[in-house]
Amino acid sequence: MTSPQATASFDPTITSEVSKMLDRILAQPATPEDMSIVQEQLGRYPRGMVAVGARCACGTPLVTITRPLLEGGIPFPTTCYLTSPEAVKAVSRLEADGMMKEFNAMLAEDEELRKQYEHAHEYYLAFRHELANRLGDSEEHIVGISAGGLPVRVKCLHALLGQTLVMGSGINPIGDMVLERIRGEFDPQTCRCAIQESTQEESAHTDK
């Protein structure tokens, strides 16, 4: 077992890949408009949000990148946080339909899937570690903790989809499967934000 204080060390290939992802993501810090859209999506101010990790085809934020240590010294492990109301709703329905049980059973049976899933955990941690370095945030309270039940269980499909949307397909196999299953309702390439707005706020937004 590694001690919680141990210096994080990751596969150099993973470090290099997540570093490129962060170069791209942090090149465009969250704008006041992004912040206000996300605030509306979440119904609360997105504390610690430093950038948008994935956007809808229309530009609306789908996933936030949140710093590892919030103001006041609060550790925040869920670096890639799913905010799209449409995606959140579609994923919640999957969870209600018992998909987590199914995914956990797949993990238990499929060694290759298990390896990929552990790999996704490494990516998540390396990504956050790189972000923490760049921002000067301490990760001392969240060393080894990623999100969604990684690396051995499936606990939150929202968090896993968040990783898939930020890092692209081929990194988190369960997140990728979640995206495939909800494509009929949510797809980052197909904007359905107008529908979302009009159902949420009956009167205000009637334009597409």
- For the bound state, the minimum distance from the C-beta of residue 60 to Zn ion, rounded and expressed in Å, comes to 4
Which pair of structure tokens corresponds to residue 189? Answer: 């390439």
- For the bound state, the minimum distance from the C-beta of residue 55 to Zn ion, rounded and expressed in Å, comes to 8
Which pair of structure tokens corresponds to residue 190? Answer: 């197909």
Determine, following the binding rule CB under 5 A, whether residue 60 of this chain makes contact with Zn ion.
yes
Determine, following the binding rule CB under 5 A, whether residue 193 of this chain makes contact with Zn ion.
yes
Q: Closest by alpha carbon to 117, among 87, 146, 80?
A: 146
Determine, following the binding rule CB under 5 A, whether residue 58 of this chain makes contact with Zn ion.
yes
CA distances from 116 to 8, 44, 100, 151, 162 (A): 20, 34, 17, 9, 17
The smaller minimum CB distance to Zn ion, of residues 60 and 163, is found at: 60
- DSSP reduced 3-state for 65: strand
Of 27-35, 55-63, 95-103, 175-183, the segment contacting Zn ion by CB under 5 A is 55-63
C-alpha count within 13 angstroms, C-beta hemisphere, residue 187 = 7
> Residues 5-44: x/- map of binding to Zn ion (CB under 5 A)?
----------------------------------------
Among 37, 49, 56, 65, binds Zn ion (CB under 5 A): 56
What is the rounded CA–CA span in Å between residue 145 and residue 139?
10
Among 8, 70, 145, 191, binds Zn ion (CB under 5 A): 191
Chain mean position to CA 198? 25
Site for Zn ion in 95-134 (CB under 5 A): none
Orientation angle between helical segments 173-182 and 85-96, nearest 10 degrees: 100
- For the bound state, the minimum distance from the C-beta of residue 191 to Zn ion, rounded and expressed in Å, comes to 3
Positions that interact with Zn ion (CB under 5 A)? 56, 58, 60, 191, 193
